[in-house]
Structure 1
């Protein structure tokens, strides 16, 4: 008896656009490996962790062969990156012993920066070593120069609208590849042949060099490095194709790999023939038509080898991915916003060096930890007689286990976010008190370096009217425009308050959320009415808010204390303060007590 196997449906073929993007990514891996063998090169990969990025790294590792790959963690300590004093070896040997960092160990290899959002010190150190080809270690009177010639891979996991990668790092990377639009099905297609001769070189004509210098400004890239990188990639593509001289198609491919994914603007469209005729005067009549015609034909044949610059730009623009203009605008907006936010309190330090001193602990100095000399000597003192040797003239013998480091406790900056119920007549009666409390707390924040924010909920949704700030002018403008009336979307307000508290915690600040409401919810999360459903969703949002661990105060602003508001405060793990006759001063005092 023969069994009949069911027909297994085959997956549809991947779109041609994804296959083309994957071909470019594979070509970039081949070019990176070939250029890394000749010198230093950098590449930026925009992709989150996943099978596509893993497949690309596997292809690159196969092309690199025995070349070592060193990975830089996103939160690496500066001593580990640059190198420093090996204190344990120094104490044991009695002489200064320097320890090389990761940049020196990556010499003649490939350095992988796991996150493009690394700290400024990390980015500056990598850029300096990438330019100089060496790293200088200077610690405690000792100096050492170590070779650091490496090629660089940067993984950029940011999304559109996030803070962009540092300009200094972007400027040093020749290849820029975006893997986010590539699906898994496209990984099976590999239409590239292997590199023909990695040791060969290709020439670039003067006309092509002029085009290389003229193209980058059209994409908003004015750095001289970009033109040099474009020329190097164009030459590498010609070598990859087995040609001894680069041609116009090599330049088109190089522009896709080098310019499109870091462009800040799109090239201006070429002028039409009618516009050119209006601006350009008619040429003078030729003097000798018959005698010069053969020479003109010869010139035309030479020019046809290199397409005009307008044709090259048209070919590149035609291959731009969909939505590139929107991505460029989002990146420009994010870049402007990141510059405007410079100077705000960042994330909490992992190794504090100031604040109230705590009991020291055993540990190795470095990476932000400072040596506690008194505690170290106190630990080593009982063992000196056992460690003393006749051939060692040192009066004190210290071992690695004796080392102690100092600890400090520093109070992080705090923020207070008001969530004001602006719905109905009861809340409207409290808007004046809310405005006064916010302004009062904002004035006090100048002395404590606190931040104050404002959330308003009315109608169908909640809205962040004032992001946490210390600017009195911005606060007054937001408070003056605070609207009132409509339903009570309490569940949405608690959801937004939880998101705001998490954002503040990520920035290293301690948030305190002040909910000003009477607890009567009548608008659900989807914007529909219904007191029963709205009340249940508000209670669920209150329980979800409690998981943030943020300090919270619920000020019952109803005419009399409400059981709903008290139950909501218990679900939020918040302090319940019934204040039917509160004013700005009492509200401010209650918040300070909770904070």
Structure 2
């Protein structure tokens, strides 16, 4: 028994968004973002109990409407009409592609020699909810399938000699923890609405959450009866709102105002305008009204626009509510007037920009490209870091400014520098001669990639069911037995080797010692690392950040898919102290070993950013070289970004690269994007 939807405390916007998606499934589903323990999954599962029943026919595997059966529906017109609950189908993160889209019926193929289709989760989700918990961790190949089905409303399968198309219209509901990484932009845009949720901060609300949960865990049936009346009211209100939605009027004035808001916020594409309009009508219907109001439009914008303004991994989702109120205005909009070719220009001029139509009023502030005024109100956003942290200030002749250092002066402790502009990163790859986690960086073997070839089983090998090459197996059995049906022998079984792109764990080992601050190099280093983080976001890699300065090294960020977390830690990274290079390399090796025990398929890439000048302790350079030799012996692909500058150079970073068996790249070349397109790292495996 699921936790009652009406018993959820303190998550009004979450429950509203889920209900609106049920009122109008064409809105496109709901994405729920929030930290663990914020009732995301509880709310989604509770919603299913409120949805109205559906009519279908007995034996139908596609949840077809009674009057619109699918072409391959096994239920005939004479089949009994039955009442069924609106399906709630959960897609596990580790599901196979066959389980999602369907596959050939293996039992019938082996028993009867007949190729028939066995429907998957997309068929079961038709006319219902498809729920993906931790949707941001879903493999790319499954995301691609979801995108196609959500866009077309049908699932088209071509595999193993079977060609099938069946309807698959569903409301996509996903939950995610942003700390574990963001969604691909294509999938993010497919969600009509998004909600940010967090645990209540009010002590009384938190106490009530605990009180209700303890009561539910102790006596779930009694607890459900306590909220039965409220659940019934919500279910009835949902049915009424669904029926009323078709009669809701959205005036042309509000439609134009919605378009102005979307344009004012610079939202890409037209999906945002359409979803906002549909959401506003659903809100009006939910509140029992037949006309859309300003509050409906405002709430619809807050649900439909925030995730569509996020263009990069380092951009925070959300919209400025003050700016939204300015764009919406205080009054109801006037209906747009049709242009009359017989009338001349009005008193505002032909372009509506002033008395003479020559542009904006010269006495007012100039407009900028996003439709807002480029005056002092935006100065705080453009100001950047405080003066003492900037690296582009001019120095007075013969006298460094306060807070500045020269190559001959010691760097102050705990200086924080801002990153310079990040250049387009070069692609870093490593040869994939062994199995790796699915991703988008290096080519190699993969558990979930495309089938590259079929082959016979090796001695002692046990194939996974998902890798069974059914057609080649049947062909091999037929060739051995002739036309007689004598069953399948182990020697007939063929197995797919899969190939695709692999993802990596990128460990950034960054020198944060005083030499980085003394020569004002940390800004360029942060810019280069930022470009690597952006690349890791696009390639679906995990990242970890290790820094070394003073006497030891520190794991600033354990392995995570949330590259925006690494960017935030990088932004406040201070410099100062000596250079314990050996400690940094050993800490990076420890991070790699620990993660390998949890995720052995994910291959590491080590990126060391340093000038190679180890000076922490006696024999520091020798210790650093021994640590590098240790990493090389572990066969870890690596790259050294040399931060040394000036006319006189020691070449210590190049020597470190040779000990690591790694390429050696100058910081200025890497940060400027002037390198070749691909940097290939060597590995013995």
Shared fold by TM > 0.5?
A: yes
Aligned equivalents of 2:470 and 2:503: distance in 1? 27
Residue of structure 2 in register with 1:74 after alignment: 93
Q: Is the 8 A contact 2:581 2:614 kept in 1?
A: no
Matched, 1:395 2:484: yes
Query: How do 1:407-556 and structure 2 match up within 5 A?
Result: 457-460=548-551, 462=553, 486=578, 488=580, 491=583, 494-499=586-591, 508-509=602-603
2:24 is the counterpart of 1:31:
no
- The equivalent position to 1:350 in structure 2, one of 447, 451, 465, is 447
Mapped to 1, the partners of 2:159 and 2:477 lie a distance apart of 25
Pick from 29, 40, 43 the counterpart of residue 42 of structure 1. Answer: 29
Instruction: Return 175-184 or 261-270, whichever deviates more.
Output: 261-270
Aligned partners of 1:414 and 1:59: how far apart in 2?
Answer: 37
8 Å CA contact 1:176, 1:261 repeated in 2: yes
Q: Where does residue 154 of structure 1 map in the other structure?
A: 174
Residue-by-residue CA offset, 1:426-470 (whole Å, 9 max, x unaligned): xxxxxxxxxxxxxxxxxxxxxxxxxxx998845355499xxxxxx
**2:477 and 2:489 in contact (8 A); partners too:** no
8 Å Cα contact 1:459/1:489 also seen in 2: no
- Please say if residues 361 and 406 of structure 1, whose CA atoms lie closer than 8 Å, have aligned partners that are also in contact: no
Q: Distance in 1 between matches of 2:660 and 2:193?
A: 55
Q: Tell me, what secondary structure is at the counterpart of 2:158?
A: strand
Alpha-carbon distance in structure 1 between the residues aligned to 2:440 and 2:29: 30
Instruction: Give the match for residue 138 of structure 2.
Output: 118
Do the aligned partners of 1:80 and 1:102 also contact (CA within 8 Å) in 2?
yes
> Kindly tell me: are residues 25 and 346 of structure 1, through their superposed partners in 2, closer, same or farther at Cα, counting changes over 3 Å?
farther
Q: Which residue of 2 aligns with 1:168?
A: 186
Larger Rg: 1
Structure 1 residues not aligned, in runs of 5+ = 1-17, 284-312, 315-322, 327-332, 385-392, 425-452, 465-482, 523-530, 532-553, 576-581
Q: Quick one: structure 1 residues 364 and 396, their matched pair in 2 at CA, closer, same or farther if it must change by over 3 Å?
A: farther
In the other structure, the counterpart of 2:355 is 281
Residue 200 of structure 1 is matched in structure 2 by 244
C-alpha contact (below 8 Å) 2:615/2:621 kept by paired residues: no
* 2:539 aligned residue: none
Q: How many residues align?
A: 428
2:174 and 2:424 map into 1 onto residues whose CA distance is 23
Distance 1:405 1:167, change over 3 A: same
Match of 1:98 in 2: 117
1:93 Cα shift?
A: 1.2
Provide the TM-score with structure 2 as the length reference: 0.49
**2:104 equivalent to 1:85:** yes
The Cα of 1:23 is off from its aligned counterpart by 1.4
Are residues 1:134 and 2:223 paired? Answer: no
Q: Aligned equivalents of 2:445 and 2:101: distance in 1?
A: 23
Preserved contact between residue 244 and residue 285 of structure 2 (Cα < 8 Å): yes
Give the one of 268, 272, 280 matched to 1:226: 272
**What is the deviation of 1:421?**
9.9
Q: 2 CA distance for matches of 1:415 and 1:150? A: 35
Q: Report the alpha carbon displacement of residue 110 of structure 1 after superposing the two structures with TM.
A: 0.7
1:291-340 deviations in Å (ceiling 9; x for gaps): xxxxxxxxxxxxxxxxxxxxxx99xxxxxxxx9xx9xxxxxx9x999997
Partner of 1:53: 40
TM-score, length of structure 1 as denominator length: 0.55
Q: Deviations over 1:478-533 (max 9, x none)?
A: xxxxx99836475555334433566797783256899x9999976xxxxxxxx9xx
Q: 1:213 to 1:507 in 2, by over 3 A?
A: farther
**Conserved 8 A contact 2:463-2:495:** no
**Using a 3 Å threshold, how does the CA distance of structure 1 residues 491 and 176 change in structure 2: closer, same or farther?**
same
* Structure 2 unmatched runs, 5+: 1-7, 53-84, 210-226, 311-318, 330-347, 358-370, 373-380, 385-419, 429-438, 515-543, 556-574, 636-653, 664-681
Does the CA-based 8 Å contact 2:31-2:193 persist in structure 1?
yes
> What is the CA-CA distance between 1:144 and the residue it aligns to?
2.0
Instruction: Give the Cα separation in 1 of the matches to 2:267 and 2:503.
Output: 39
Structure 2 distance, partners of 1:590, 1:203, is 65
* Counterpart among 32, 46, 50 of residue 63 in structure 1: 50
- CA gap of 1:362–1:48, structure 2 versus 1, over 3 A, is farther
CA contact (8 A) 1:363 1:405 kept: no
More helix by share: 1
CA RMSD of aligned residues (A): 6.0
After TM superposition, list the pairs within 5 Å mapping 1:326-345 onto structure 2. Answer: 344-345=441-442
Seen in structure 2, the aligned counterparts of structure 1 residues 410 and 210 have a Cα distance that, compared at 3 Å, is: closer
Map Cα deviations across residues 337-369 of structure 1 (whole Å, 9 max, x no partner). Answer: 999789522896225766999716676776344
Assess if the C-alpha contact under 8 Å between 2:457 and 2:493 holds in 1.
no
2:468 and 2:620 map into 1 onto residues whose CA distance is: 43
Change (3 A) 1:242 1:413: closer
* 1:557 equivalenced with 2:646 (yes/no): no
